[in-house]
Structure 1
């Protein structure tokens, strides 16, 4: 993992909020950028996949996380450990703590925040839910379009698993990291869930 410091995040009134550290994880699906501060994780940026990764055996070999020169704040360490487990040994994610989140969207009460929290809490590894079903779980069954908007604005993909939200028809639907990445993530989870069930 490579890490670097970036300038402080400032609020609208110009007050300094936190020092943000960015890191790059080399994952089976490409470089994943994570950023955060001592308070929590700010964002996960996914790569756009143009081709599928190689076989599962090779995928597992690419899960290693290289330590960068600067120490990462605890929330980024937790994020890196969680993502490494997700790609290499998904069963371990259940025992790992989730990093605290420190993104503006997740700080204030809103339907988007409610949807993202519901998704993270109720839609488990290897499962999928439609936009309409997630809207109902979040308390408003008529808000499928709003759920789509919440998925597009999700700052913490994979940990907040917006890739598990699919169309009612069963098609994967669109994804911020691209449809190929969404299909890969769903397939990855399905394969590992089946392995655990044996």
Structure 2
């Protein structure tokens, strides 16, 4: 009972702290569509993938791009196409609300937002180089609490690098609870900073890639895994 009350008090305190954060919201245009980022002076709050194409159409498009990349004998294997990789640009969200502090001046961005942009841009160009980049500081509530979810996410970030994969069961084992594969799945579903914390690299023991974003964006998971694998072997 005391433990539950303590956790409830901690959650309330975290919510109060988060509500005081002066967030900046950015939108990045990536090969996968728009990526929304939010962060404050203390770190990154969330990364949200916001594909604009219907899943079935996007699946078609992404697979065509991947097929073009792997089958062409004359194309540089380090890029899907010039436009597909190098049209990664930063644009600024115009909407302002009481939780959103928007600036058009890069020098006014927080260090963690700058690091996040640099990390993602590098990822879509040369993903293996991200292992050498600083990881932005995170300030989402999940990283402020001593929970199994946090441990799983941090273990994944530390141990599973670009071009590699890990099963849900193995990640549970690495996180200190070999029987918690289902809980690992829940942690992946609630990952607030996808791509940087690579939940797309966690696959089923059968070898199937498993679900991504609640099963709605499995083609994105396939693309990310193929992107890393092809780049690693190039």
Deviation track 1:64-109 (CA, whole Å, cap 9, x = no partner) reads 3357614321111110110000001223313321110001011110
Give ranges in structure 2 of 5+ residues lacking alignment.
Answer: 1-12, 69-79, 93-102
Which one of 27, 31, 35 corresponds to residue 32 of structure 1? 35
8 A Cα contact 1:11 1:17, kept in partner:
no
Q: Does 1:134 align with 2:152?
A: no
Q: In the alignment, what sits opposite 1:41?
A: 44
**1:78 — aligned with what?**
115
What TM-score does the superposition give when structure 1 sets the normalisation length? Answer: 0.87
Preserved CA contact (<8 Å) 1:21 1:35: yes
Greater RCO, CA 8 A, separation 6+: 2
Contact 2:131 2:162 in 1 (8 A): no
Are 2:115 and 2:136, in contact at CA under 8 Å, matched by a contact in 1? yes
| Deviation (angstroms), 1:12 | 4.4
Structure 1 residues 80 and 178, CA gap change in structure 2 (3 angstroms): same
Counterpart contact for 1:154–1:160, Cα < 8 Å = yes
Aligned equivalent of 1:125, options 148, 162, 182? 162
Gaps of 5+ in 1: 1-9
* Correspondence 1:188 to 2:227: yes
Report the Cα distance in structure 2 between the residues aligned to 1:79 and 1:23, rounded to whole angstroms.
Answer: 11
Match of 1:69 among 94, 104, 112: 104
**Secondary structure of the corresponding residue to residue 37 of structure 2:** strand
In structure 2, relative to structure 1, the CA distance for the partners of 1:13 and 1:192 (3 Å cut) is closer
Q: Which TM-score applies when normalising by structure 2?
A: 0.74
Q: Is the 8 A contact 2:131 2:161 kept in 1?
A: no
Contact 1:132-1:143 within 8 A present in 2 as well: yes
Structure 1 contact 63–88 (Cα < 8 Å) conserved: no
Instruction: Give the superposed CA RMSD.
Output: 2.0
Decide whether aligned partners of structure 1 residues 14 and 90 sit closer, same or farther in structure 2, where only a CA change above 3 A counts: closer
